[in-house]
Structure 1
Amino acid sequence: MVLKKSGRLLILFLFACAAPGGAQSIVTESVTGMEFVPIKGGCYQMGDAAGDGDDNERPVHEVCVGDFAMGKYEVTNAQYRKFRPDHHSGKSAGLSLDDDTQPVVNVSWEDAVAYAEWLSQQTGMAFRLPTEAEWEYAVRAGTSASRFWGSDPEAACTYANVADRTAREHWAKWTTFVCDDGHAVAAPVGSFQSNGNGLYDMLGNVWEWCLDVYNYDAYEKLPKDDPVYSGSGEYRVMRGGGWSNGPLGIRSSHRVGLSPGFSHHSLGFRLVKTDT
């Protein structure tokens, strides 16, 4: 498919390793090279079924989402700098967060939304932040435990970049996992094993902005089908935990609200493609 826009020809690729069972292939857009994994919609139990989370993760309730495609990886510094060439993700404890293959951080919800709008305009495709319901459906990949790899938090270092033994060398007072993932700060995207949907770093590495307005009691207010909270509220949802989080923050149901203008050294985002 060839699309003429702004005097340029943008070739939009559709390719991937063939998906099992005749499923759709991964979609790659040519402006940044970002890959999107098709996620077949369905229903699941959203929230903290394990009982180790906060009240804002309950009640557990059935939610159904439609088909969408989610970024295989978190948006990287190199991809974000296609949009804002002067962006720098900075450092933490003197350690760089700014390498091309690390996830972009120090970006607000407003920045992430602007990036999605820019990429949509550049490609003619439709990109946005995931809804909270889509994000949890995608991370769980059919699982119901606290983390997609199971109930054992100490298996984290196989699947996620978290606060671990390496981090304790720099931040001795942190609550950490006892395993060692080899990274004190953000790792290059895709450095750990994927979940069952073929998505990387859904837990750990960096927190990820979601589309929803944050509401503490949202689970008591939203409909079953394709829920997204868009009412009044000061904050936006972020999910997944980051490289500075211990076991409490690295869970599939964990949800936090922050100001849409806020940015942080362990907070980034990934996109979904909705015109599947």
Structure 2
Amino acid sequence: MTQLLGLLIALGLCIPSAAEDLKGVAVEAPGAPEWTGGVGRQWALVIGIDKYRFHTPLSNCVHDSRSLAALLRDKYGFERIIELYDESATQQAIIDSLRDLASNLTEENSLLIYFSGHGTKDDLTGDAFWVPVEGKSEVDFIASDRIQRYVRAMKARHIWVVCDSCFSGRLFAEKGVTVEPAEGELDRYVTEALKKKSRLVLASGGDEPVTAEGFEGHSVFAHYFLKALENPPRGWTDSSQVFNQVKVDIARNASQSPQMGAIFETDHRGGEFILVPRRLPEGELKGILLDTATQAPLRGARVGPIGTDRAGEADIQGAFSLKLVVGTYPGLRIQAPNLPPSEVRGEIKIVEGQVLDLGNVLVSPPLPALPPPPPLIEEPPAPATTTAGIPLPSGERIELVELPGSPIRIGKYEITQSEWGSVVAGLPVSKHDLPLDPSKIKGARYPVENVSLEDCREFCRRLSSHFGKEVRLPTEEEWEAACRAGGSGLYVWGESPEEAAAYANFGGGDHGGTFEVGSFKPNQLGIHDLAGNVGEWCEPGPRKELVYRGGTWKDRLESLRCDWRVAVTPKTPPSGYVGFRIVCAR
């Protein structure tokens, strides 16, 4: 049995400053191309299998599938998504779903089907198969020609089969069908592509196995496929443009060759599968940045809402303007030339179709740091639910919480960027250097992220030498015990999904990034952010997998479960979604 990392079938129609109040006056402000209404009603079938009954378990497939389903639902506004994961992804359930789609699709629909699991081929006949969760032999598998028959029976004008799998190239015959339209002819190109019927397949490889290693808990192909959908180059994309982007990215990072072509005998007529993100309501924010001391405009300063990647640049008069998704933001982050990063706190409420004019925004340099207090010589004993701390060179303390019945204490919060910087700049190197400021979303009290497992271990080694006790990452068992707080709840707060928003930063949302640690309710032990915000590295167990726990700010509710885990490979690069917290002997 050869590992199938993922198979997607898409079917579809043609540093802190002194806080200052922000005040503003809202005034009325003065889209998508006209053809975007022609993409039709979009549906999807998403299948992911990790826990096979008779074959080697996989680690990426369900995560790949759920991530795609969330992207299609949240970014592209898919109307209907059928999801089959692990035990629900039986041969009968998959066939029933294909039949249901074949019976109910019309020319007004768009449909995306994603399969991620094991795949194999018959060396004698050359037939390729999907392997459902209970599949044991070929009689239980789903042959590629059977998939083709259902595709042929579907009335949807556009069907795109995207296969991240071994032997995935066997689903198509014709290669070289991609198109790169001229910029001046985009509207005409898309109009024609929507009219013409399409039956396309994008395969992660040809008639061969594909690599199991990937990035951020995804297979190589799924990582770059999702990236292409998350960041469409023109504000929209299509099957050809996704293929062109994915094949270049994979060629630079892995030894496999994606292919694209028309599906065997399904009447492909030259159309394209078009994907248009749904338009999120926006408003505009503007103002003038001035130096508090001199009242001079901060020319060239970068400014954007705290907790987002959006930013604009102030002009020669210090004026800035940027479009923002409707929502409430906690303030502005500002990086002015020759000044340290600063924040101006105050509620910023963006209303659809309106301009929020902040007027003059006064930016003060950070106050000088206070001298550090004398180092703590000895920690006094603490009750089970109280906190103790590890002193840092900067004078800060990493707060810890004792785990009842355990010989360890665990971090009350995720390690912050300020704590990281204090250790990196103030303590001797143990085995290797560390980046001073690795995080993608900046803020002293924001969790550090974009750090590797080895970086976190080096941080712990330096802290151990400084403190005189072993400091390390938690094991998965220790992390889960802290998450459940001595109970057996599904989530850090218990069982009810309705309580999630009070305890966790998740689901992307209007904020679109990390929050300061401690912004959400703690669990019963007083530990914050075990669910959401950033995923948290754990020490590998006997299987030597690299694992992070707890879900991230962009993940969906199911990722917040206490038993949720994401395994990645040693070659996985650091991620802006993953940080850590520490444990220490009592």
What is the rounded CA distance, in whole Å, between the counterparts of 1:109 and 1:12 in structure 2?
30
What is the rounded CA distance, in whole Å, between the counterparts of 1:141 and 1:230 in structure 2?
24
Q: Is 1:230 aligned to residue 542 of structure 2?
A: yes
% of aligned pairs identical? 34
Within the candidate set 224, 245, 252, 2:555 is matched to: 245
What is the rounded CA distance, in whole Å, between the counterparts of 2:415 and 2:391 in structure 1?
14
Greater strand proportion: 2
Cα-to-partner distance string for 1:222-242 (whole Å, 9 max, x where unaligned): xxxxxxx235x4x31110011
**TM value normalised by structure 2:** 0.33
Within the candidate set 68, 76, 90, 2:416 is matched to: 76
Gaps of 5+ in 2: 1-373, 426-434
Cα-to-partner distance string for 1:201-221 (whole Å, 9 max, x where unaligned): 011110000012xxxxxxxxx
CA contact (8 A) 2:480 2:562 kept: yes
Letter in 1 for 2:476: E
What is the rounded CA distance, in whole Å, between the counterparts of 2:390 and 2:423 in structure 1?
14
Within the candidate set 154, 160, 182, 2:498 is matched to: 154
Q: Equivalent residues in 2 for 1:202-241 (5 A)?
A: 202-212=530-540, 229-231=541-543, 233=544, 235-241=545-551
Within the candidate set 433, 445, 449, 1:105 is matched to: 449
What is the rounded CA distance, in whole Å, between the counterparts of 2:551 and 2:416 in structure 1?
17
Residue 146 of structure 1 and its aligned partner are, at CA, apart by 1.7
What is the rounded CA distance, in whole Å, between the counterparts of 1:13 and 1:98 in structure 2?
33
Gaps of 5+ in 1: 1-8, 42-65, 92-96, 167-182, 213-228
C-alpha spacing 1:27/1:256, structure 2 compared with 1 (3 Å): same
What is the rounded CA distance, in whole Å, between the counterparts of 1:109 and 1:90 in structure 2?
14
Q: Equivalent residues in 2 for 1:1-276 (5 A)?
A: 10-12=375-377, 14=379, 19=383, 23=384, 25-31=386-392, 32-41=396-405, 66-85=406-425, 86-91=435-440, 97-166=441-510, 183-212=511-540, 229-231=541-543, 233=544, 235-260=545-570, 262-274=573-585, 276=586
Cα-to-partner distance string for 1:157-178 (whole Å, 9 max, x where unaligned): 1001111532xxxxxxxxxxxx
CA contact (8 A) 1:13 1:27 kept: no
Letter in 2 for 1:257: A
CA contact (8 A) 1:202 1:240 kept: yes
Q: What root-mean-square deviation, in Å, do the aligned CA atoms of Structure 1 and Structure 2 show?
A: 2.1
What is the rounded CA distance, in whole Å, between the counterparts of 1:12 and 1:75 in structure 2?
22
Cα-to-partner distance string for 1:181-206 (whole Å, 9 max, x where unaligned): xx321100000100011100011110
Larger displacement relative to structure 2 (251-260 or 187-196): 251-260
**TM value normalised by structure 1:** 0.67
CA contact (8 A) 2:450 2:577 kept: yes
Residue correspondences, number? 200
User: Secondary structure in 2 aligned to 1:28?
Assistant: strand
Larger displacement relative to structure 2 (81-90 or 140-149): 81-90
C-alpha spacing 1:243/1:12, structure 2 compared with 1 (3 Å): farther
What is the rounded CA distance, in whole Å, between the counterparts of 1:130 and 1:252 in structure 2?
14
Larger displacement relative to structure 2 (197-206 or 23-32): 23-32
What is the rounded CA distance, in whole Å, between the counterparts of 2:500 and 2:558 in structure 1?
12
CA contact (8 A) 2:415 2:448 kept: yes
What is the rounded CA distance, in whole Å, between the counterparts of 2:570 and 2:499 in structure 1?
33
Please identify runs of 4+ aligned residues in structure 1 that moved more than 4 A: none
User: Secondary structure in 2 aligned to 1:202?
Assistant: coil
What is the rounded CA distance, in whole Å, between the counterparts of 1:164 and 1:244 in structure 2?
4
CA contact (8 A) 2:399 2:412 kept: yes
User: Secondary structure in 2 aligned to 1:139?
Assistant: helix
Question: Aligned residue for 2:14?
Answer: none
CA contact (8 A) 2:385 2:525 kept: no
